[in-house]
Structure 1
């Protein structure tokens, strides 16, 4: 009978001795707007409706002295990656646990400036991207 009890404790200890949590990642504020989208979809002579269909609504719309519009897209994407690992052990009179972890963050920005002419067609565009 004592052998069965000790065997049961050994199995429980073996099953609960080490536990790990797989790497988890999520992204805040991620948008479908990318440099590739700008390079592929935007070109001189497009209408504002075509730009809006390709890129969505701009963050800022301004006009110059000639009443020509400028659309500005300013997107920020933050990625956070959390890693945890831990161990847990138990025996009738002894129990203990240990856990460690780390957090990695990265941020990307994309700014796109699209200038329209008097007829509402794209006359110029530029973009800037950074990652840190």
Structure 2
């Protein structure tokens, strides 16, 4: 039987946070490109997603730093994630596609939350996930 108060699996937590950070950075980069060519109706929503991803990336990087990890991710993983998430956000030309791409990030938040012990980092991840879920719901209503 596992002791729920035992030492956390830091390696699993770090891996999940690194993947989440890379997804956030990739999404933010894709949104930068979309913002440059967005029409008036989509622009405010794209900007909200971009700014939220930027803030979340900074917070996740701070968590990794607190765990003693350089927030950089290896090139192979980074390239793979950029291609995957870049495809999702890169084609987000309407609110439904933006909501779909945001939904993919919600899944990464879920993984990171499950990998994080009950502490302030987990509470922050849950808060960020809720913020993103609110934004995804807004995109779905459009």
TM-score range, shorter chain: under 0.3
Q: Give the helix-richer structure, 1 or 2.
A: 2
* Structure with larger RCO (C-alpha < 8 A, sep 6+): 2
TM-score, length basis structure 2: 0.22
Q: Give the structure with higher Rg (CA).
A: 1
Q: Give the strand-richer structure, 1 or 2.
A: 1
